[in-house]
A and B are shown apart, each in its own frame.
Chain A
C-alpha cells in the first residue's frame, strides 16, 4: 500500500480498505436506514472549493498549481465519485503507484492525480512530443481541422512555431495549458461549479441551469485552448448521453459534466464507466435509482449494454438485459448523492455474455457491479465499438477496419486508457491521409465559424445562450441529443435541408454581426486587415482570412457570380456600406464552401 488514497474529503468510498465502514451519509432527506455505509457518489460539501482554500495549499510533489475551479473538479473525482478505484483497490488488495515516468500522475483534464480514474496506474498518460511520431507529411491545417473546432490564424502560427508534435503533446496534458478563453467562459457560468443543492437554490429552474451548461459547452468549444479536451468532452457526452436538458437530472446534469466527463475525457475508459454508472445523474436519468429486486427497471441496463459498452454487435439478448437489470438493483440517488441499499438488491447468480457472478449476498452487490463494469470495459466488443467511434470521429464516416482493429488492440493493451488510442490514431497513416473527409456537424460548423471570425464571448451569458440556441434550427442543440449514443457522427445521419439552411443562416448572421447581439463581433468591416478597393481584391482577402489560403478558381467564379446578381459595385469605396456588404457576402459564401464545412 503505497500512498494514502485519502481524497480531498474523506467520505469513505473505500470498501475493503477500511475495517469499519464509515458512517452513512448524512440523511436529511430520509435516506433509508439500511443504506450500506458507502455512498456510490457524493458531492463535496463545504470542503475545498472555490474561494475556500488557496490552490497552492493543495500542492503535493508532482502536482501542478491548480485554479480553484480545477480543485473542485479534481476533488470530486478523487473523492466520492470514483467507485472504480475503491473496487479495484479492494480486488487488488492495494493501490498501484502512479507511474512517474508518464504524465507525472496528473489527469489530462484538470491536473489532479487520476487516483480514481487510474485503476492500474497505466491508464492515463500524456505522450511526450518526442514519443508522438507525427508523420512528416501531416498537414498542419488537417491536424487543426481534426483536433480542434477549427483553425484560426493564431493557432496556425502557434503550431508553425512549436511544431505539430509539441503542440499535439500539449493537447494531451490540457491541465498544463493556460486557458484564458475557457476561463472566460467559465466565469460567465458560475452556477456550473455549484453542488446540486447549491445549484438548486441558485437556479431553481433545472432547464435553465442545463441551458447554461449547453451554452458553456459550446463556449469552451469555441474559445478554450484545450481543444482536444473539448472535442473529447463532446464525444463522451454523446457516448454517455444524458440529454441536456433532462428532466430527471435537472440539477445533477452539470455535475455529471464536471465530475465524470471532463475529468475522465482523456483518462481511462473503465474509470469513466465506473464513475458514470453510479453518478446521480445517470441513475436518475435512466431510472436505475428506483430499480429494485422485486421490480427491476431495464432502462439503464439496456443503455449500458447497447450504448456505453459492448453494443448490439455483441449479440446480447433480452435475457442479458434482464440479468443486467437485476444486477443493477439497489442503487438510489437524491440531491446529488447516490448510495447503495443492500435490501433492494437482487441476490442470485448473474450471467451476462461471458460474465458470471454468484452475487450471493446483498452486501456484496456493489462489488459485483464493479466487477461487471470492469468486465464490460475490457470486453473485446467494447474495445471494437470505442475504436470505431474514435476512428469515425477522427478519420472518416467509414474508417478502415484495419485501423479499427489496431486501435482496439491498443485500447486493450493499455487497460482501457484513452490517450494511447488517440495517440496511435493521430499518428496513423489513415489519419494523415483523410484530410477533408469529414463533414462538420452543426455545432462544429457553428464553432468553426465563430473561431474563424474572431468573436469573443461578451460580458454576460446572453450571447452564448443565443449562440447555442441557433443550433435548435439544425436539431443539434449542444449536448442535446435524446438518442441512444447521442448525435451520430456520420454525415448521412444529420445531413438535411433544414440543417443546410440553418448552417447558411447562422453563418450569415454571425458574419454580419446581426445575431447574437451581445457577442463581441468585429463584423465585416473589421474582418480584413486591408481595405479592398475592388470586388476581386475582396475575394482574395476574404479567402485568406476565412479559409487560410487563396481562393480557388471555382471560389472566385462563385463569388463573382453572387455579387453580379446584386446591386453592389465592383469598385469599392473605403469604409463604405458597399464595401462592408461585399465582404460580408463573400465571407458568408466561402464559409459555406466545401472547404469550410468539412474537416
Chain B
C-alpha cells in the first residue's frame, strides 16, 4: 500500500467518476449488492479478499472527558481513596484486574470479554499538549497534527483515507452524528450519518433515478459546484438497500444512541461495504457534578450503558469481531480530587478500552505514573502514553497501514504490544 495517495480536487474526482458512467463514486465495497458500482480492475472476489485482510477500526469517543480513574480505578493506590472521599470506587466493589487496578462495578458485564482476552485497557493515556478546554482538546485530538490552525486543519482520519489505496466515501464513516468530526476534516469524501435509517432519499427512485438528481445538481451551477449531495445520494441509495436486520433492541443493545450507533456499525462491518474507520461519539461524560455513588450514581449508569453496548456489539459481530478493533477515546480525564459538587473537574490522563478479536487482552497496558502529589500535573493524572501510539499500533498491525507518518505527522509511536500483528 502506498504511503501517500495523490488527491485530486473534489470536484474533479467526482465529475470524472460521473462521466465514467459507472457510477463508481461509492467505490470499493459499497456496491457489493449492486454490480454497477464495481470499480474497474477490482473484481468482487478480490475486494472481498482485500476486505477480509484488514480490520475495521472503530473509534468510540467518550465526549466531555471520561474519568479513567473510575473506569479502571487504581484500587491499590492509597492516594486514590484519599483524593476522593465520596467518589472513589472501593476496592471491595471493583472487579480486581491486577495488583494495582480494578474494573468499575458497572463495567462488570465486560469481565467475560476481559477474561477471554478480547478486551484490554491502557491507562494514563493523554495528549502531548495538554489543554482542559473541551473544544481545544477535541480539536487537537482529532487533528492529531502539530501547529494545525482552524480552517486549514485536516483530521487524522481524513489523512488515513488519503493513504488507503481503494478509498471510497464510506472508507471513513461516522454513525450517530451527521456532522463530520474534526478527525474527518479534509479533502476526502467522508461520510457522517445519524444512522442507516436516515440514509434514504425522499423522492422515490421510481419517479427520479438517483443519477437524474446527480446530473441535474451538477448542472445547476454549470458544473462548478462541489455539492456533497451528489456523491451522498448514491451512497444513500446503496446503504438504504442493505438487507434488513434485527432491531438494536432485539440484538441486545441498550436503548441508547450509543447502542443504536454500534448496531449500525456492526451492520456496516458485516455488509462489507469498505468501512475502514468508523467513528461513534457518546456524549455526557462531563460530570462536573453528581458523579454519584460508584454503585448506583449517574457515572455508574453511564458505564453500565457503555458496558452493555460493548457486550452487545461483540455478540452482534460474532466471528466478525476478529476483523474489528474498537477503542474508547476521550479528550481528557478528570481531576484526581473531587470538587464541591460531588463531581470532577477537567483533568488530563485517562484510560482507554480496547476491544477486538486480536487484542492482547486481559491486561492493563501502559505506564502508571502514580497519584502522589509529586506525580500529578496541576492536580491531574499525568499522561504517560500518547493516544496516537495506541491508534498507530492498531493501524499498522491490524488495519493494513504500513506507516503512520502521514496520519500522525511528526510523531514516532511507542510500541505497546496492545494488539497482535496480522
Contacts and interface: CB of A to CB of B under 8 A. Distances in A.
Contacts of A140: none
A474 interface: yes
A302 B345 CA distance: 11
Interface in A479-498: 482-485, 490, 492-498
Nearest to B218: A558
B311 interface: no
Given A473-B194, A566-B208, A306 B135 contact: yes
A509 B220 contact: no
A496 B175 CA distance: 13
Given A290-B341, A296-B339, A581-B207, A484 B134 contact: yes
Contacts of B212: 561-562, 564-566
B216 A561 contact: yes
B98 interface: no
Given A496-B192, A593-B220, A473 B178 contact: yes
Tier of interface size on chain A: 35 or more
Interface residues of B, number: 60
- Interface core residue of A497, A555, A594 (most chain B CB under 10 Å): A497
Contact of A498 (B135, B207, B232): B232
Given A292-B340, A562-B208, A498 B229 contact: no
B203 interface: yes
A503 B338 CA distance: 44
A589 B179 contact: no
A498 B340 contact: no
B83 to A, nearest CB: 12
Contacts of B217: 558, 589, 592
Contacts of A594: 220-221, 225
A294 interface: yes
A405 interface: no
Nearest to A473: B198
A484 B133 CA distance: 9
Contact of B289 (A287, A474, A497): A287
Nearest to A300: B288
Contacts of B218: 558
A496 B231 CA distance: 11
B330 to A, nearest CB: 15
A398 B151 CA distance: 9
A492 B233 contact: no
A355 interface: no
Interface in B166-223: 169, 177-180, 185, 189-194, 198-203, 207-209, 211-213, 215-222
B96 interface: no
Given A290-B341, A492-B151, A299 B288 contact: yes
Nearest to B209: A565
Contacts, number: 176
Contacts of A561: 212, 215-216, 219
Nearest to A397: B151
B288 A287 contact: yes
Chain B's interface: helix, strand, loop or mixed, by majority?
Answer: loop
Interface in A538-575: 553-555, 557-559, 561-562, 564-566
Contacts of A562: 208, 212-213, 215-216
A484 B132 CA distance: 13
B152 to A, nearest CB: 10
A29 B338 CA distance: 27
A475 B177 contact: yes
B300 to A, nearest CB: 16
A505 interface: yes
A288 to B, nearest CB: 9
Contacts of B135: 306, 483-485
B184 to A, nearest CB: 8
A504 to B, nearest CB: 6
Given A496-B179, A589-B217, A302 B132 contact: yes
Contact of A499 (B179, B231, B233, B283): B179
A291 B338 CA distance: 12
Given A294-B340, A295-B338, A497 B219 contact: no
Contacts of A33: none
Interface string B376-403: 0010000000000000000000000000
Given A312-B136, A589-B217, A497 B202 contact: no
B345 A299 contact: yes
B371 interface: no
B361 interface: no
Nearest to B378: A318
A585 B204 CA distance: 11
Contacts of A270: none
- Interface core residue of B198, B212, B219, B378 (most chain A CB under 10 Å): B219
A461 interface: no
15 contacts: A287-B341, A292-B340, A295-B340, A473-B194, A498-B194, A498-B199, A499-B179, A500-B229, A504-B202, A506-B202, A557-B219, A562-B213, A562-B216, A593-B220, A593-B221
Given A295-B339, A473-B194, A592-B229, 14 more contacts: A287-B341, A291-B340, A297-B343, A297-B345, A312-B136, A494-B179, A497-B191, A501-B199, A501-B236, A505-B200, A509-B202, A558-B219, A561-B212, A564-B212
Interface of B: 132-136, 151, 169, 177-180, 185, 189-194, 198-203, 207-209, 211-213, 215-222, 225, 227-229, 231-233, 235-236, 283, 286, 288-289, 338-343, 345-346, 378
